[in-house]
Amino acid sequence: MNQHDTHPIRAAVLAEREAPGPLSKSSLGGIGPGQALNIRDELPTPMLTVDTETVVSNIEQMAEWTAEQGVQLAPHGKTTMTPALWRAQLAAGAVGITVANFSQARVAVEAGAPLVVIANEFLTPPGLSWLRGVLAEDGPEIMCWADSVRAVERMQSALGRTRRRVQVCVEVGIEGKRAGVRQDGDVGEIVEALTGAEALAFAGFSGFEGVLPPERIEEVRSYLRRMARLFEEHEDRIEVDHPVLTAGGGLYFDLVAELLRPAADSVDGGRVILRPGSYLLHDHGHYGRLTPARLRGSGPQLRPAATLWARVLSTPEQGLAILDAGKRDLAYDISLPRPQRIHRADGRIEEFTQAELVDTNDQHGYLEHADQELEIGDVIEFGQSHPCTIADKWRELPLVTAVEPGRLRWDASARTHF
């Protein structure tokens, strides 16, 4: 084993050494751990790869920053749904893993997360039946949200009497956006319902500010101050040892730490839990432009870790290349991937000057290029936008290291659970 593999974060990232099977979309042609391949001639395409050292660095950077800010981290697992990478985040100091729903929560519990934050109202009957079983045994803390008395009543009715209690935060909403209390005057009756529920414990307040775009930054600040005020108004009713204020997607986690921590610090045992998931892979687009470090000079220095590889299949028109990657392979919900480099047949690697992926079908991409001729068989290296829709097309994430220009070493494959 390489001496660097003894690093606990790196060791967790590289825990799954078994190569994907020959029928896997992520198979790298049968090479094993530590072996390298030539990108132009040996890399199957389309392919998604994740740079090992960049992932390790992003995990370390966020862990160090949250520790410096005096806040906790429960990263959103939906981004990769990859327990090996979750365990690396936990090894770096994350207190738990955030998920969105029943199926994701099951994976997080099975993965050994000490705290599973279900960042949602949790009301599906099969999920509540499963949760009743989890609470009957020793196991992880479970946290979820409620934004109505009816939600509290449904949870309590389904759970009945339990050995352990679910920590429930009152979700604070934003007009016209996702779930959450709209009128502050309604909070008191929800708190009253929670404190009277045998299987539930009022834990604090939750929210998600990421539904607001950067041009509405003052509304983000106002929303976070509202969360802090509600916490201060109702903290005397909180029933857990560590009262919670939790928010923080990938765009504004610096503001969450700044504006929520004073309220949490005013209460014995109070804590702020941030829940970003995008920082793990980061990106070349949406988050690359809007990360706190870039816009406000605060937060960790993150780098894009994921690369999409596609091959030129046809050049049917001047300035147009047809690629072998499409919607089943790449993120397209915010913007299409950005071409970064061309890997030529003769070994040359060229930066793109003027090129754009302008459209996709299920299995094809349309690359318009202005002043660089592309040849059939050229491999195109892409950066993508929105980490939460990068990994969900893949059953395994090949973790690789660039050992020299044009060559990748396969380090491990992290299995996803979408």
Tens of pLDDT, residue by residue over 268-323, are 999 999 999 999 999 999 999 999 999 999 999 999 999 999 999 999 999 999 99
Q: Is the pLDDT of residue 3 over 50?
A: no
């929670």: which residue's tokens?
A: 194
Query: Are residues 329 and 393 in contact, defined by beta-carbon separation less than 8 angstroms?
Result: yes
Q: Is the pLDDT of residue 94 over 50?
A: yes
Tens of pLDDT, residue by residue over 139-190, are 999 999 999 999 999 999 999 999 999 999 999 999 999 999 999 999 999 9
For residue 176, with 0-12 CB atoms within 10 Å meaning exposed, 13-18 middle and 19 or more buried, which class applies?
exposed
H or E, element range at 217: helix 217-234
- Each residue of 95-115: b (16+ CB within 10 Å) or e? bbbbbbebebbbbbbebebeb
Mean pLDDT of 248-272: 98
Q: What was the pLDDT predicted at 5?
A: 55
Q: Which two tokens stand for residue 293?
A: 């470090």
Cβ neighbours of residue 146 closer than 8 Å, sequence gap 6 or more: 121, 152, 155, 168, 169, 170, 171, 190, 194, 200
User: Does the domain at residues 3-52+302-415 carry the CATH identifier 2.40.37.20?
Assistant: yes
Q: What was the pLDDT predicted at 361?
A: 99
Mean pLDDT of 372-398: 96
CA atoms within 13 A on the CB side of 316: 6
Q: Which two tokens stand for residue 384?
A: 């993508």
Q: Mean pLDDT in the chain? A: 96
Give me the CATH code for the 114-276 domain, please: 3.20.20.10
For residue 334, with 0-12 CB atoms within 10 Å meaning exposed, 13-18 middle and 19 or more buried, which class applies?
middle
Q: What was the pLDDT predicted at 6?
A: 52
Q: Which two tokens stand for residue 228?
A: 């802090």
Say how far apart CA 400 and CA 407 lie, in whole Å.
Answer: 10
- Domain extents in the chain: 3-52+302-415, 114-276
Query: Are residues 282 and 305 in contact, defined by beta-carbon separation less than 8 angstroms?
Result: yes
Confidence of residue 29 (pLDDT cuts 50, 70, 90): confident
Say how far apart CA 346 and CA 96 lie, in whole Å.
Answer: 48
| Angle (deg, nearest 10), helices 83-91 and 102-110 | 60
Confidence of residue 20 (pLDDT cuts 50, 70, 90): confident
Strands lying side by side in the sheet with 97-99: 72-73, 271-274, 244-247, 200-207, 166-172, 141-146, 115-121, 97-99
- Each residue of 313-332: b (16+ CB within 10 Å) or e? bebeeeeebbbbbbeebbbb
Tens of pLDDT, residue by residue over 233-247, are 999 999 999 999 999
Q: Which two tokens stand for residue 77?
A: 């697992």
Q: What was the pLDDT predicted at 46?
A: 98
| Angle (deg, nearest 10), helices 149-159 and 187-195 | 10
Same fold, 3-52+302-415 and 114-276: no
H or E, element range at 117: strand 115-121
Q: Is the pLDDT of residue 334 over 70?
A: yes
Q: Is the pLDDT of residue 101 over 90?
A: yes
Mean pLDDT of 97-126: 98
Tens of pLDDT, residue by residue over 178-230, are 999 999 999 999 999 999 999 999 999 999 999 999 999 999 999 999 999 99
pTM beyond cutoff 0.85: yes
Q: Above pLDDT 90, what percent of the chain?
A: 92
